[in-house]
Amino acid sequence: MEIKSRQEGNVTVLNLQGRLDLASGSVLKEEIKKLFEQQRNSVHLNLADVEFINSSGLGALVSIMKEVRLQKGRLTLSNLASYVQEIFDITQLSHIFEIFATEQEALGSYQPVTAN
Amino acid sequence: MNDVIERIGELLSTLQSPDFYEREVAVKELGSFTSNDEAVAGLVMALEDADLGIRELAADFLVKTKGPIASQLLIRFLGNEDIGTRNLAAEVLVRIGKEATPALIEDLATNEDYDVRKFTADILGLIKDERAVEPLVQRLWDENMNVVCSAAEALGEIGSPAAIPGLVAAFEKMEDVRLPAVEALGKIGDKSCLESLYDWLKTDDPMILFAVIEAIGALGNAGSAAQLRPYLEHEDRTIAEAALGAIIDLSRQNEGRIDFELPLDRFVDYLFEGVRKRDPRLTEFTLRRLNHWYGRDVVSHMVDVLDDVEDEALGRLIETLAQIGNSAADMLLEKFAAASPKVKGVILDVFKQVVDENIARALLRYADDEDPDVRQKIAHILGMSGLAEATEVLKGLASDPIGHVRSAAYAALGWLGGEELIEFLCRGLDDKYPDVREAAVGALIIINGQRVVQKFTEDLYHTEVERQRLAVNALGLIGDAAVVPPLINAINHPEAAIRKSAILSLARIREVSDVQPLVVALNDESASVRKAAVTALLQIEGPGRLDECRYLLEDEDVWVRYHVINAVAEYGTADHAELLLRYLDDPQDIIKIAVIKALAELRYVPAVPKLSVLKDERNQDVIDAATRAVRAIQGR
C-alpha cells in the first residue's frame, strides 16, 4: 500500500492507495506513530484509493483510533468505497470513527477552539 | 337612479328587521352600492347590529369602500359607549389604512372628547402614514396626558425622524411622557437623537434608564457601546442586563464588533435564560462566544438548556461541548443522572467523542438506564473506551430485552476484543433479530483468529441458510489467507448464493494459489455463479485467463454473455475483439450494444465497416452506440 502524506493546516492528511491488510496496516500504524512523535495528532485518512481492506487492516484502524484517543487527538476518514463501508457497517465501527463523504467535508470539520 | 335610491331606502329599513337573514341580505346588497353615501351610512349602522356575523360583514364592505364618507362615519363610532362597536370601528379604520388618514387627522385636532383623540392617535400609529407626523407632534402638547402618550407611541410606530425634535422637547418638559417618548425614539432609530439619549442616561428613574439603554441599543451606533459599558456593573440587575442586551444589539448591527471585554461571567444566568427561551439575539450571541468562554458555570448552563433549544442550537452546543472535551466531562457526569432521556443522549454523544477510561468507568453504573437508546449509546461508548471492566456490563447488555441494545453490546464487545469472548459472541449468532446476529458477526470479524475462521467454516454448512449466508459473508470480510481454503471449498456449496459469495470474496482477496476450482465454476449450473467465476478468474490471474472464459460468449444466459463481453472490453486485446465481431449480429440488442461498446473500448479499427452498417438498425440506442463507437475508434 502506498501512503502519501501532506499537511492541511493542523491536520495531517494521509492518502492511502492499494490494499489495507496485516502488512500495510502495520506500516500505517508506524507512520501515524511517527506523526504523534511530532505532536501531529489530528489525522485524516482518505480511503478513496483503498481497494481492499480485511479484518487485519480493520484491526490496524481500530488500534490507530485507540492510540489517537490516548493522544487526545482526532482521526477522521473519508471516501469509503461501498465494500469498505460494508465492513464498517457490519462491525458498527461507523459509530466509533468519524466518517465523511469527502476529504473536504472532513477537513472543514476541524474547527480550532481558542483556549479558555 | 330613483330606483336605486328607493331600493337603498328599503334596505336601510330592512336593517331594523328582527329577522337575521333579512338583515344579512340587506347588508350584502348595500355592499354592492358603496358608491352611494346612504348605502355606506347603512353599512356603518350595521356595525351596531346585534349579530356579530352581520357586524363583520358590514366591516368587510366598509374596508372595501375606502371612501372619506366611510372614514368620517366610522370616526363617530370611536366615541361609542359600547366598547365592541368602538373597537370594530377602529379595526375597520386601520384596515382602510391611509385613505382614512385625512379624516382621522381632522378628528385628532378637533374632537373635544380626549378619549376619542387618544383612540385616533392610536389608530394613526397603526396606519403608519407620515402625513400624521406633524398633527401627532402637536398632540404631544395636548392637555390630556393619555393623548400625549398615545401620540408619542404613534410617532414611534410611524418611525419618521421628523418627530424627533418634538419627542425630545416633550421628554424634557413632561415627566409622564418620558417613557413613551424614549421608546418612540428607539423605534424611529435615527442617530440624531443619540446625544439626548446619552444625556438622559443620567436619570434617577430606573424605568426611564432601562428604556434609554434599550433605545441606544436599537439605534445601532457602534460607538454607543462605550457609553453603555458602565451600566454593565449597575447594582440593579435589570439595568445591567438591559445594558448587555443593548450592547449585543449594537454588536449584531456592527458585524459582531465590540471593542472591550464583556464581563460575561456576571451574565451567565441572563444569557442562558435567553437561550432557553429561544431569544434569537441572545442565543446567537451566547453560542458564538462559547468557543472561548466555557468555565464550569457555563458548561453547567449549557447542559441545563439542552432540553429547550432548537436543533441548530443543540448541534452547536454538542459541538462546543465535544470541543471543550474532557474538561467538561465531570460536569456532564454530574448532570447525567438527573437529565432527561434527550439530554442523556446529547451528553453521551459528547462522551463518544472524548471518551476515556475514567468516563467509561463512571458510565458503568448507568448501563441499566430505563431508556434503551441511552443503554445503546452507553454500550457503544464502553466498547470504544477499551475499558476491560466494561466486558461484564456489556455481556449483560447483550441479554437486554431490546434488540438494538443487544446489537450495540455485541458490537462493543468486538471492539474490546479478546479471543476469550469468541464463545460468548457466537451466542449472538442465534439471536432472533438479524441486526443482532450481524453485530455478533461483526464482532467476530474484528476479533478474527483461527477459532473464528473455524466457527464460520462450520457455519457454511449450518442447517439454516441465513447462517450460511452470514458465514460466507464473514469469511469474505475477514479476508486474510486463512479464509481462502474454506472459501475455495464453498465453491462446491449446494447453495448457489453461497457459491457466488465465496467466489466474489476470493476475487477481492486474490491470494488464491490454485484457481482450478474457479475454472470449474465457469460451468456452474447457476448463471450468477458463472459470472462471478469470470470476475474472480480475471481479477486474480489477469487477462491471461480470458481465453478460458470465451466459450461463455455462447452461454445460454444472456447476462453471462453480456458479462463476458464486458470482461473482454476490460481485459481483452485486438485478438479478443475479433471474436466479438460476429456478435454484432446477435438478435438481442443488449448484446449488440455491449459488443459495440467493447469494440470501441478496444479501439478495434477493423470493426468500423461493420459498425457503420448498423446505422440502418431499427433500435435508436444501437445506432447511437455504433455512431459513438466509430468516432471513438477513429479518434474523433
User: Is the distance from CB of B375 to CB of B367 less than 8 angstroms?
Assistant: yes
Yes or no: say if B392 and B365 are a contact pair by the CB < 8 Å rule: no
Cβ within 8 Å of A, B 375-404: 380, 383-384, 386
Interface residue B428 vs chain A (CB under 8 A): no
**Amino acid code (one letter) for B254:** N
Q: Taking the mean position of all CA atoms in its chain, how far away is CA B477?
A: 36
C-alpha cell at B511: 491470494
Subunit contact B443:A91, Cβ cutoff 8 A: yes
Say whether B142 sits in a helix, a strand or coil.
Answer: coil
Q: How many CB atoms lie within 10 A of CB B434?
A: 12
Contacts of A58 in chain B (CB under 8 A): 445-446
According to the model, what pLDDT value does residue B1 have?
A: 60
Give yes or no for residue B517 having a pLDDT over 80: yes
B448 vs A52, A55, A69: nearest CB: A55
> H or E element: which one contains B436?
helix B434-447
Residue A27 forms contact with B (CB below 8 Å)? no
- For chain A, say whether B298 makes contact (Cβ under 8 Å): no
Cβ of B292 within 8 Å of Cβ of A115? The answer is yes
Give the DSSP letter of residue B553: G
Phi-psi region of A92 (alpha: psi -120 to 50; beta: other; left: phi over 0): left
- Average pLDDT on B117-142 reads 95
| Spatial distance between the Cα atoms of B97 and B63, rounded to a whole number of angstroms | 9
Q: What pLDDT sits at residue B220?
A: 87
| The pLDDT of residue B315 | 85
Rounded distance between C-alpha atoms, residue B630 and residue B576, angstroms = 18
Per-residue pLDDT at B334:
87
Residue A7 in 3-state DSSP? strand
Q: Which three cell numbers stand for residue A56?
A: 487485519
A96 in contact with B at a CB cutoff of 8 Å?
A: yes
| Radius of gyration of chain A measured on its C-alpha atoms | 13
Residue A112: pLDDT band with limits 50, 70, 90? low
Q: What is the ipTM of this complex?
A: 0.90
Residue B230, φ and ψ in degrees, nearest 5: -60, -30
CB B116 within 8 A of CB B107: yes
Residues of A in contact with B359 (CB under 8 A): none
How far out from the chain centre does Cα B255 lie? 25
Q: Exposure of A104 by Cβ count < 10 A (0-12 exposed, 13-18 middle, 19+ buried)?
A: exposed
The reply to whether A95 touches chain B by the CB within 8 Å rule is yes
Range A31-45 average pLDDT: 93
Q: How many CB atoms lie within 10 A of CB A46?
A: 23
Q: Give the model's pLDDT for residue A113.
A: 43
| Residue B328 pLDDT exceeds 70 | yes
Query: Distances from the Cα of A91 to the Cαs of B385, B408, B474, in angstroms?
Result: 16, 10, 10
DSSP, collapsed to helix, strand or coil, labels residue B497 as helix
Length of chain A: 116
Distance of CA B363 to the CA centre of its chain: 31
The pLDDT tens digits of the residues spanning A78-104 come to 999 988 999 999 999 998 899 999 999
Buried b (16+ CB within 10 A) or exposed e, B387-416: beebbebbbebbebeebbbbbbbbbbbbbb
The pLDDT, as a whole number, for residue B435 is: 95
Pick the residue from chain A with its C-alpha nearest to B357: A70
Is B478 within 8 Å of A54 when comparing Cβ atoms? yes
B46: its cell numbers: 350595521
Residue in this structure with the C-alpha cell 449472538, named with its chain if needed: B428
> How many CB pairs lie under 8 A apart between chains A and B?
82
Contact B430, B398 (CB under 8 A): no
pLDDT for B49: 86
Question: What is the Cα Rg of chain B in Å?
Answer: 42
pLDDT recorded at residue B536: 96
Query: Mean per-residue pLDDT for B566-588?
Result: 90
Report the distance separating Cα B626 and Cα A2, nearest Å. Answer: 40
Q: Is A52 in CB contact (< 8 Å) with chain B? A: yes
- Is A86 in Cβ contact with B477 (below 8 Å)? yes
Higher pLDDT, B3 or B334: B334
pLDDT of residue B576: 85
Q: What is the pLDDT of residue B523?
A: 95
- Kindly report the nearest CA distance between residue B411 and chain A, in angstroms: 6
As a whole number of angstroms, the distance between CA B405 and CA B374 comes to: 9
Instruction: Report the pLDDT value the prediction gives residue B127, as an integer from 0 to 100.
Output: 95
Q: List the grid coordinates of B187.
A: 423605534
The residue-averaged pLDDT of B557-573 equals: 93
CA B307 to chain centre: 17
C-alpha cell of B60? 368587510
Collect all residues of chain B within an 8 Å Cβ-Cβ radius of residue A93.
415, 446
Residue A115 with chain B: CB contacts under 8 Å = 292
The whole-number average pLDDT for the span B514-520 is: 94
Give the pLDDT score at A70: 81
B253: left (phi over 0), alpha (psi -120 to 50) or beta: alpha
CB contact under 8 A, A90 and B445: yes
Dist. CA B273–CA B281, nearest whole Å: 12
Residue B236, number of CB atoms within 10 A of its CB: 12
Between B18 and B559, name the one with better pLDDT: B559
Set of cell numbers at residue B168 = 425630545
Question: pTM of the prediction?
Answer: 0.70
User: CB distance from A81 to chain B under 8 Å?
Assistant: no
- Tell me which chain A residue has its CA closest to the CA of residue B377: A95
Instruction: Give the number of other Cβ atoms within 10 Å of residue A34's Cβ.
Output: 11
Averaged pLDDT for residues B546-571? 93
Pairing of strands A42-53, A98-100: unpaired
B441 to chain A, any CB pair closer than 8 A? The answer is yes
A21 touches B at CB < 8 Å = yes
Is the model's pLDDT at B293 over the cut of 80?
Answer: no
pLDDT at position A114: 38
Dist CA A63 CA B4 (whole Å)? 95
State how beta strands A2-8 and A98-100 pair. unpaired
Q: How far is CA B562 from CA A50, A76, B287, B612, B619, in A?
A: 28, 40, 59, 22, 18
* Cβ contact B448–A53 (<8 Å): no
The reply to whether A91 touches chain B by the CB within 8 Å rule is yes
User: How distant, in Å, are the alpha carbons of B337, B340, B344, B402 from that of B370?
Assistant: 11, 11, 11, 11
- What pLDDT is stored for residue B197 in this prediction? 94
> pLDDT (tens digit, 9 = 90+) per residue, B57-85?
888 888 888 778 888 888 888 888 888 88
Residue B261: pLDDT above 60? yes
- Which run of H or E residues covers position A77? strand A74-78
Q: Residue B50: what pLDDT?
A: 85
d(CA B426, CA B223) in angstroms, rounded, equals 71
Contact indicator for B204, B238 with CB cutoff of 8 Å: no
Confidence of residue A111 (pLDDT cuts 50, 70, 90): low
- Across the beta sheet with A42-53, the strand order is A2-8, A11-20, A42-53, A74-78, A98-100
Neighbours of B65 (CB within 10 A): 23
